[in-house]
Amino acid sequence: MIPIAKPYITTEEAQAAYDTILTGWITQGPRVAEFEEKFAAYTGSKYAVAVSNCTTALHLCMIVAGIGKDDEVICPSMSYIATANSIKYVGAKPVFAEVETSTYNLDVKDVEKRITPKTRAILLVHQIGMPADIDAFRQLADKHKLLIIEDAACAAGSKYKGKAIGSHSDLVCFSFHPRKVISTGDGGMITTNREDYAQRMKLLRQHGMSVNDRVRHGSSKLIFEDHVEVGYNYRMTDIQAAVGIKQLEKLDWIVGERRKIAMRYNQAFADVDFLQLPIEQEGYFSNYQSYSIYLKPGCPIGRNDLMQKLLDEGISTRRGIMTAHRETAYKDECAGLSLPVTEDACDRSIVLPLYVPMKEEEVEMVVRKVKECLAVTHAF
């Protein structure tokens, strides 16, 4: 079976985790601080805050941004449900907007139509690693005095106009889930250029405790902590951070290898008229966290049938990016909402296997079987 994805983790990461365990400091400590420092440097941001996952990262961003009850945040429905859920966590309302057919990223014109006096922020998602048009949304946000929060769960290693994702906005959230380009098993990171945001998020991630464990244990004087506000247990462990440090060292190489596979797919499927391939515009640099193809009208096979045929041949695929407004948790409140572009993009797209290292014969098999199912003469 060719899997849809798998993490690239070697004995170096295992050794780093082992060494950290033997230090006796396995919760949030010196390795977390080191990972934060190195991730901030990689992205070009001033600060980075490590947390338990990207969902908790988004939640903390909503809190420090001051978003709360009766506020509205515009976001895509076409994103993992955690995007919308993070808005609900603070009592605000997710307002779903359309995406572009070419990138599956938010459509700036449609977003502007959905701005109301209650709108506080735009939650911008870099879909499956393809950067959104940050400058266009920055102009829109400035025009309407809105905040920009970036859901960069899939975008570690991606770039927008020559700068790493993570350096463009004051609140940017990353995921280190095993399906992502680099992984800590699970985990997340927030980058920001605002010291006040960074300090408050570090406070909130550890129960609102005024003195963190690393400072307390390193002090030669007796220190008693105070819990200055209601916080959360959103900590990353030092074991995860040790793995993350090693993963970060390999990020550029991993992205380079992923892009080679994506380019081979692009070349192989370029002559198939009823497939739309990923579109990477000038100034955009994707890490290709996933490789998604869209079946245009007139395709000789339906999306689900194609997925089943490929599964029968030993090839795993996934449906296109989900739509939150059609999930049971959101159906009632979204009754009557029409997002035809979003729904079509979800229903007619498939994510193909892409991981490092992916053997040439595995790529060849995926291409061959997709073309056979589409009744297209194979040439690779």
- Does 356 lie in the same domain as 209? no
Taking only the tens place, the pLDDT of each residue in 162-204 is: 999 999 999 999 999 999 999 999 999 999 999 999 999 999 9
- Does 295 lie in the same domain as 180? no
What's the pLDDT score for residue 216?
63
Taking only the tens place, the pLDDT of each residue in 345-377 is: 999 999 999 999 999 999 999 999 999 999 865
Taking only the tens place, the pLDDT of each residue in 258-295 is: 999 999 999 999 999 999 999 999 999 999 999 999 99
- Give the C-alpha separation, 292 to 302, whole Å: 15
What's the pLDDT score for residue 264?
98
- Does 264 lie in the same domain as 161? no
Q: Note down the domain range covering 324.
A: 251-373
Residue 188, domain member (yes or no):
yes
Residue 279, domain member (yes or no):
yes
Two tokens, residue 35: 């990972």
Q: Do residues 31 and 20 touch, judged by C-beta distance below 8 A?
A: yes
- Does 143 lie in the same domain as 69? yes
- Does 113 lie in the same domain as 136? yes
Residue 6, domain member (yes or no):
no
- Does 293 lie in the same domain as 245? no
- Give the C-alpha separation, 311 to 314, whole Å: 5
- Does 59 lie in the same domain as 187? yes
Give the residue from 249, 265, 288 where a domain finishes. Answer: 249
Domains in the chain: how many in total?
Answer: 2
- Give the C-alpha separation, 50 to 237, whole Å: 9
- Does 278 lie in the same domain as 189? no
In the predicted model, what is the mean pLDDT of residues 127-144? 98
Catalytic residues: 180
Residue 1, domain member (yes or no):
no
Q: In what order do the strands lie in the sheet with 188-192?
A: 47-51, 188-192, 172-175, 147-151, 119-125, 72-76, 93-97
- Does 209 lie in the same domain as 279? no
Two tokens, residue 64: 């420090």
- Does 241 lie in the same domain as 293? no
